Amino acid sequence: GNREHTLVNALLFHTRELSSLSPERPGIVHRLDKETSGVMVVAKTNAAHLELSRQFKKHTIERRYIALVEGEIEFDEGVIDAPIKRHILDRKKMVVSFSGEAKGAHTVYKVLKRFQNYTAVALFPQTGRTHQLRVHLSFLGHPVLGDRTYGRVKSFTRLALHAMVLG
């Protein structure tokens, strides 16, 4: 709902050519949660937008994130295979659910470094569900630091989740 001071406004300042497939978000192929930092995909042409969207849908694009999470994750690496659906009462939140209407969600993780009470972890989402990484990590009992929705409000000054690689 923000019409000013957006990434799209900045892009349009530098170029007049952006994909028009999504009129409300010209050029934006891949979105990040509002608080997540990092790389995004933007298309200048409709043909590029269609091709990039196809690659995202087929999961042929590598996506790698890095996060700082609460607690010390026990295993060096693993797969979180937990379906996700919209929360029944709070429609802005997602939740792990093993009911029929939940959609499959898979996240591969690898511990980068353990600190006292925190863990740096690389995340490789295999699916693209809303809030997937944040929901999965919270489900494991290791919410992302600074996550006001799925973790503790005052654990960090901002969401410690960064999109590192899209390729």
25-41 average pLDDT score: 89
pLDDT tens per residue, range 147-164: 999 998 777 889 999 999
Which pLDDT score, from 0 to 100, does residue 46 have? 96
The two beta strands, 77-81 and 161-166, are unpaired
pLDDT at 86 exceeding the cut of 70:
yes
End-to-end CA gap in the chain: 29
pLDDT tier at 3, thresholds 50, 70, 90: low
Classify residue 141 by its DSSP letter: T
Q: pTM of the prediction?
A: 0.88
- Tell which wins on pLDDT, 59 or 153: 59
The active-site residue out of 33, 76, 81, 90 is 33
> Which token pair is 139?
């489900």
* 99, burial (CB in 10 Å: exposed 0-12, middle 13-18, buried 19+): exposed
Beta carbons of 140 and 73 less than 8 angstroms apart: yes
147 is catalytic: no
Classify residue 55 as exposed, middle or buried by CB count within 10 Å of its CB (0-12, 13-18, 19+): middle
Tokens 């990484």 sit at which residue?
133
What tens digit of pLDDT does each residue of 105-146 get? 999 999 999 999 999 999 999 998 999 999 999 999 999 999
What pLDDT score does 131 carry? Answer: 96
**Helix (H/G/I), strand (E/B), else coil: 64:** strand
